[in-house]
Chains A and B, each alone.
Chain A
């Protein structure tokens, strides 16, 4: 007995009439309620990538070191000695906008499962967050809730949160972004894929019981624009239980170590439907699921609810019948659930049974692979499509004093250092356990990238996550190239060479031509930068429809990168020693376009200078060599707020002043003194070295054809920067006070 489906039901579930017609055609009849629920979720943007799949084909995914590429739960690269590093970044934007604590917590829970689903033990989490300006009470609430939620989950489960980034910009006011990245370590021979295999094998659900939580959650929430009054969606936000996940994680890793599983998959968006469907599709088999055998946490769930529930902390495994008892005993030891709920079949159909009675039957291929894919209709916007507001005066008053002149470079530096986008994020990262696991050799803010020791492979890895949406909004192609370069720069400062990249593409509604254009240009930029740096994309996630009646978010590709370095003892941090020389290296050509200063002056506009990927690549090769050779005492890339902010940050880290002169840069690039101080752009690294080493660094740069110039020296108790008569002079203590002002704004 299956309830009839009303004619317009498919529209409420987000399917177009065309898509519904296609389903009828594929089935040869009208779908019943169970089947329609399953199609509506798997054919959502979140699961089917129907607006992005064609574009994503342009990304380079192959490389010598790739062990697993896109399509698996997470990507993985080989790091030698029989080990691989697995990683992936994923969004949990809409759930976090509705309930930031649980939204962010379950975002972490979900990405951890993706990583241990391929047999890797999670060893690090990073996060990338976007909110509206901190002057907004709602943004403060969302920021505080999301940080607490990330901490709650990561801290409780014992995986260190080692890095991340936060930006505050008006277009995220009504649609915050919460992206989480997990890095795991696996023995290559214990890794597992998600393809179901072996007709007659059993399908086992492990972990938490299934309830109504999250029904219509991720898939539906992630595929429609948020509207006012979205508190009504609160019941469909999932609730996280890190204790359950901790047991499930240990249990799954033990099952894999003992070789008990045929395949493994986590349950995420669209629950059983998506997981079982994907396992069957990848293995070219069918699956029968009996919903009456799924352990429930509340009574009277309809079969369709069981099939789409997004209850957290659940995994799906395929096991040979003879090994079921051993699997169940292991789960009992870890005090986590296990129930055989179905079996692998031949014939490629996903059948749903309710106590043996069939209530749904669809071809796996139709469900997973036949969703219509759409071509984008990109159209370049005629100009800057986001707002502008002047906030520099306010910032200057706040950080440099009421009477300060907003045209004075010293006051501007204070204002930029105190801007929430540039200021120290200590308030946030101190809420995260960054040391559990005994691998963390460089903690947040100690270096541009986090460094983790991997004694299993006799080396270390460096990880970073980046993506400045404002710059991508100015120029989606150049801005996305910059996001990749920024990650590579962070890695190079630790002496690490990139091995692979993961990304999360957070964009507005792709059915709108301007957003489609942003998406297309950004993916091209991502592809070109990856090709230029020879870094394969091993996985990723797309989050579209990030927009409200107030408009779309800034287009925000978030890039996560993993690299390797031979010696964890070597990487310098951002703190130079007193008396060290400061050298600027790389093709850095500062421009105020899209900069933090342009934002604060209300002067944002379309367009960025086009980056020279090859020149940055050459500079990073040199920086890596210099860092590895041990001749560098500190390394820091030029990022938000420009060179003046980078120098001030190094001074603060050193607890010592600096005396710098940027005239060499002014001469080399022909820019204004102000643009050399505060202009932004890729390809700038500040190295610190003892006087004796600095001459040889300049020689090596010359030999490598990489621009390099001595720009200053560490010492004293002031930050002094001369730049074509636009001179900065502030006390180190004032710079530090501004830079540490984030907590005062909460």
Chain B
């Protein structure tokens, strides 16, 4: 069973649950819930949690459910953060770096091409390194940033999961980075929306692989 966190102001939680539901079972997890037992993986979905009037993800990281997600992740179990979910995971310190306002200071919705890196963890196992994925982005604050030395370290330890294909970087992300993992690789955050790429009728089904990874991830106990 995959749990999809539902904050007030979430937009893509139903779509994420439906996408996960194409692989296995999924349910919504209310933002005040703290008992995540019985869940095999977590999606922190896109949207504008708590309105995001302050800074994207800045309030959601303090929600009761996110405290539980931090424990869940610390146990080595898989967490997928999409768009606002990626922002929330960065704010919560579960992922390195930060998401800044887009270079053009405008919201952008566009189908983009991603290239998968050779990265670690349950998601990296499932996604073939070098594969090209067509997945839409839609965000106002998606410009990934981390200091240069951190990026060097992340690159050498296989924490950079996805980059925008050459010429496709829509928002000015440093080194074209579209998605990263934590050191153990069990927490993945990305700005593109794999839940909107699960059906050729709506443009592509290249995003399904991440939900498959979530469902298949080994339930590792923390070391």
Contact = CB atoms under 8 A, between A and B. Distances in A.
A643 interface: no
Contact of B108 (A431, A435, A440): A431
B109 A431 contact: yes
Contacts of A569: 201
A430 interface: yes
B8 interface: yes
A338 B199 CA distance: 40
Interface in B43-58: 47-48, 50-53
Contacts of A435: 109, 136, 138, 193, 196, 202-203
A235 B49 CA distance: 29
Given A241-B51, A242-B51, A435-B193, A157 B108 contact: no
A437 B195 CA distance: 10
Contacts of B53: 243
A156 B199 contact: no
Contacts of B10: 158
> Which range contains the number of B residues in contact with the other chain?
20 to 34
Interface in B129-187: 136, 138, 140
A158 B107 contact: no
Contact of B9 (A151, A246, A440): A246
A453 B108 contact: no
Contacts, number: 84
Nearest to B10: A158
A152 B47 CA distance: 12
Contacts of A334: 8
Interface in A390-437: 429-437
26 contacts: A148-B107, A152-B107, A156-B9, A156-B11, A156-B52, A158-B10, A242-B51, A243-B8, A244-B51, A246-B8, A246-B11, A430-B108, A431-B109, A432-B107, A433-B11, A435-B136, A435-B138, A436-B138, A437-B15, A438-B15, A438-B19, A438-B196, A438-B198, A439-B202, A440-B202, A568-B201
Interface string B36-77: 000000000001101111000000000000000000000000
Interface residues of A, number: 32
Contacts of B8: 243, 246-247, 334-335
B117 interface: no
Which residue of A157, A246, A431, A433 has the most chain B CB atoms within 10 A of its CB atom?
Answer: A433
Given A243-B9, A433-B138, A438 B106 contact: no
Contacts of A429: 109
Interface string A148-192: 100110011110000000000000000000000000000000000
A167 to B, nearest CB: 22
Contact of B138 (A155, A241, A335, A453): A155
B13 to A, nearest CB: 9
A569 B199 CA distance: 11
A156 B48 contact: yes
Contacts of B52: 156, 243
A243 B51 CA distance: 5
A438 B199 contact: yes
Contacts of B51: 156, 241-244
B18 interface: yes
Interface string A428-472: 011111111111110100000000010000000000000000000
Given A247-B9, A438-B196, A569-B201, 14 more contacts: A151-B107, A152-B107, A155-B11, A155-B140, A156-B9, A156-B11, A243-B48, A246-B11, A247-B8, A430-B110, A431-B106, A431-B107, A438-B19, A441-B201
Contacts of B136: 435
B109 A430 contact: yes
Closest A-B pairs by Cβ, 4 of them: A158-B11, A243-B51, A156-B48, A438-B15
A603 B10 CA distance: 52
